[in-house]
Structure 1
Amino acid sequence: MARINLRPWREELRAEKQKQFVVMVVGAAIIAAGLTFLWSSDLDSGIAYQQSRNAYIESAAKKLDVQIQEIDSLKRKRNELLARMKVIQDLQGKRPVIVRVFDELVRTLPDGLFYTDVNRAGDQVSIVGMAESNSRVSALMRQFDESEWFTSPNLSNVSAADGSRAGYSQFTMTVKQQTPQPEGEGK
Structure 2
Amino acid sequence: MISVNDFKPGITFQLDGNLYVVLTAQHSKQGRGQANVKAKVKDLRSGATTIKSFTGGDKVQKAHIETIAMNYLYNDGTSAILMDEVTYEQVEIPLKRLEWELNFLVEGAKVKVRKFENEILDIEIPLNIELEVAEAFDAVKGNTTTNPQKKVTLTTGFELEVPMFIKQGDIIIVSTEEGKYIGKGKK
Q: Taking structure 2 as the reference length, what is the TM-score of the superposition?
A: 0.22
Q: Taking structure 1 as the reference length, what is the TM-score of the superposition?
A: 0.22
